[in-house]
Amino acid sequence: MDRNRIIKEILLKIRSEALDRINSADADLEALRVRYLGKKGELTAVLRGMAGLSPDERPVVGQLANKVRAEIENAIAERTAVQKQKALEAQLLAERVDVTAPGAAPAIGHNHPLTVVRRDLEEIFLGLGFSIAEGPEVEYDYYNFQALNIPENHPARDTQDTFYITDNILLRSQTSPVQVRVMEKQKPPIRIVSPGRVYRSDDVDATHSPLFHQFEGLVVDRGITMGDLKGMLELFAKNMFGADTRIRFRPHHFPFTEPSAEVDVSCFACGGKGCRLCKGEGWIEILGAGMVHPHVLSGCGIDPEEYSGFAFGLGIERIALLKYHIDDMRLLYENDIRFISQF
């Protein structure tokens, strides 16, 4: 009888002590579960001592032991839920976002100066009634050279200047092949510009790159003269560089145009007085132009006796360098946002 009473007192003491510790603010619930309910826990040790009880006493003590176990388990479960709720509330408080606070503006990119210049060029010539034509960058030798009246022994065919893939296929060295393809498929009148990437085997330095961008134009119709070319280029120059810009033609030679000329504009930095940009000359070379050679027209199925035309071509990089006073072409290809964001 004394043993029964002693075990009951121990069970009640375990319950009281366990509940007090479980309900404390900084309780380690897992450690308490192991201490009281584990295989080597205090409650388990008491249950093992029931072997010395009489058959009549065991059910009474066992019922009390199960009640104590259940109370401890429930207390641990409730306290665990409380701790989880507090942890969640603390996390939500720490991660709270003030939706009324002004947001941080995301970093965005910027138009590349080459893109800006190309769009300006396209806008000018679209306003003059031109359309935009495009063609392949991997081109046949015929369209890049032969159809443009460039004979086989011409220096431009040298492998040092052109990237050949096979004897007959190459990376186009100019956008002029687009003009040939258009003339083959479209009857005059023709009025197109052809912007795009071109490739030449140049070393990379401040003024050269193996990849750069050209912007070429072509007009073919009845009665087209050199005066039409001059008038159109004057409109272009004034729109691109300012209303006071003047142009001048200097005789030159291109295999696909006859007559041919290099075209200068009056320096838009000094107004033609002479400065560092124009090297004191007052003029800046910007493009090449001329009347389409009769051989080129006839090769595309256009009768040179009935139709004539003019063509011109300029480098987009050159215009960007001049317009923005950039002294190193390599800056255009580094994609440094600190540089690009200035334009």
At residue 90, the pLDDT reads: 87
Q: How does the average pLDDT of the chain come out, rounded? A: 86
Strand ranges (DSSP E) for 175-325? 190-199, 211-221, 247-254, 257-266, 283-292, 308-315
pTM listed for this prediction: 0.68
What's the rounded mean pLDDT across residues 135-154?
91
Q: What is the pLDDT of residues 109-136, one digit of tens each?
A: 788 999 999 999 999 999 999 999 999 9
Query: How far apart (Å, rounded) are the C-alpha atoms in residues 73 and 24?
Result: 15
CA 278 to chain centre: 35
Kindly tell me if the per-residue pLDDT of 39 is higher than 90. Answer: no
- Report the candidate in 71, 55, 53 with the shortest Cα–Cα distance to residue 3: 53
* Radius of gyration (C-alpha) of the chain in whole angstroms: 44
User: Following CA atoms 220, 225, 226, 231 in sequence, which dihedral angle do they give, to the nearest 10 degrees?
Assistant: -80
Work out the number of other CB atoms within 10 angstroms of the CB of residue 28: 12
Q: Which long-range contacts (CB under 8 A, 24 or more apart) does 334-337 make?
A: 335/112, 337/109, 337/110
What's the rounded mean pLDDT across residues 40-57?
68
At residue 2, the pLDDT reads: 61
Domain 113-340 has CATH 3.30.930.10: yes
Decide if 245 contacts 266 (C-beta within 8 A): yes
Residues 6+ apart with CB under 8 A from 66: none
Asked which of 41-50, 121-130, 240-249 is least confident by mean pLDDT, the reply is: 41-50
Bond prior to 102 in cis (omega within 30° of 0):
no
Query: How far apart (Å, rounded) are the C-alpha atoms in residues 196 and 194?
Result: 7
Q: How confident is the model at residue 3 (pLDDT cuts 50, 70, 90)?
A: low
- Report the candidate in 178, 187, 247 with the shortest Cα–Cα distance to residue 215: 178
Query: How far apart (Å, rounded) are the C-alpha atoms in residues 264 and 278?
Result: 11
Across-strand partners of 192?
A: 131, 218
At residue 53, the pLDDT reads: 63
Across-strand partners of 289?
A: 261, 312
Query: How far apart (Å, rounded) are the C-alpha atoms in residues 260 and 270?
Result: 28
Higher pLDDT, 255 or 69: 255
Query: How far apart (Å, rounded) are the C-alpha atoms in residues 47 and 61?
Result: 9
**Domain ranges for the chain:** 2-94, 113-340
- Report the candidate in 131, 141, 32 with the shortest Cα–Cα distance to residue 78: 32
Which H or E element spans position 244?
none
Decide if 312 contacts 229 (C-beta within 8 A): yes
Query: How far apart (Å, rounded) are the C-alpha atoms in residues 309 and 228?
Result: 9
Q: Is 263 helix (H, G, I), strand (E, B) or coil?
A: strand
Bond prior to 294 in cis (omega within 30° of 0):
no
